[in-house]
Amino acid sequence: MEKVSLTFKKKDCMGCHACEVACKQEHQLGVGPRLVRVIEKISDYIPIYCHHCAKPPRKEACPVDAITRNEQGIVLINNDLCIGCKECLQACRQGARAEVSGLCPCGVEEVKKLTGTHLIAA
């Protein structure tokens, strides 16, 4: 199966935060969990999101093997197995940087549709 990946062109991030709200809406999340997060460091905007790493540190960290990477290259979390220990969040290079609260489960086409932005390319 063809691999997909979610790429943010960081240099083009203008700090509109639309990706954050689109994500919250898509996954019906309230205040708290932030799967994607845009950090503002005057005058840079840094989108932090799941990189779907080839060797996800989170996968290694998970004590119950709830995290897997499928053949499309998408890192997935199995909510039925997850015991909520947050070891994965500690382990994640991205997450640790920005308190991103989980994995990014959407495919790239969905992301394009969600934000309607030209800034996110496969």
Partner 1 sequence: MGEVMKMKTVCRSCHGGCGVIAHVNGGKVVKVEGDPDSPISHGAMCTKGLAITQVAYHPDRVLHPMKKTDKGWHRISWDEALDTTAARFSEVIDKYGPEAIIVGQGTGRDYESHFSRFGNLLGTPNILTAGHMCYLSRTGATLITCGNLPVCDYENNPECIVMWAVNPLWTNPDEYKGVNFWRAYEKGAKLIVIDPRKDFLSKRADLWLQVRPGTDAALAMGFFNVIIEEELYDRDFVLAHVHGWDAFVERVKMDYPLKRVEEITWVQQDLIRKAARLYATTKPAGIHWGVPTEQTNNCTDFTRIAVGLMAATGNLDAPGGNVFHVPPPVRKVSEFSAHKALSAEQQQKRLGGEQYKLGARMTFITPKCAWDAILAEKPYPVKAGYLVGTNPVVSRANAGEVYRALKKLDFLAISDFFLTPTAELADIFLPAGTWLEQNHVSENWKRHGYVLARQKVVEIGECWQDHKIFMELGKRMGQQWWDTVEDALGWLLEPTGLTWEQFKKIGYLRGDMRYYKYKERGFSTPTRKVELHSSILDKWGFDPLPKYTEIPESPVSRPDMVEKYPYILNAGFRTPTFFHSANRNIPWLREIRPDPIVEIHPETAAHHGIEEGDWVWIESPRGRAKERAKLNDGIDPRVIVAEHGWWYPEMNSPDHGWDISNINMLTDNSHESMDPVMGATNLRVLLCNISPCEDE
Residues that bind partner 1 (CB under 8 A): 14-18, 20-22, 24-26, 30-31, 34, 42-43, 45, 113-118
Residues 25-54 that bind ligand SF4 (CB under 6 A): 26, 35-36, 38, 45, 47, 49
Tell me: does residue 121 bind ligand SF4 (CB under 6 A). Answer: no
The first and second tokens of residue 74, run together, are 């998408």
- The one among 53, 69, 101, 105 contacting ligand SF4 by CB under 6 A: 105
Nearer to ligand SF4, 27 or 86 (CB): 27
Q: Which does 62 bind (CB under 5 to 8 A by kind): partner 1, ligand SF4, none?
A: none
Look at residue 51 and give the partner it binds from partner 1, ligand SF4, none, a contact being a CB closer than 5 to 8 Å depending on partner kind.
none
CA 9 to each of CA 14, 19, 105: distance values in angstroms, whole numbers, following the listed order: 10, 13, 19
Bridge partners, residue 38, by sequence: 47
The Cα 101–Cα 111 span in angstroms is: 18
Residue where the block lists tokens 């503002």: 40
HEC letters along 55-122: CCHHHHHCCCCCEEECCCCCEEECCCCCCCCCHHHHHCHHHHHHCCCCCCCCCHHHHHHHHCCCCEEC
List of residues contacting ligand SF4 (CB under 6 A) = 6, 8, 13-19, 22-23, 26, 35-36, 38, 45, 47, 49, 104-106, 111, 114-115, 117, 119
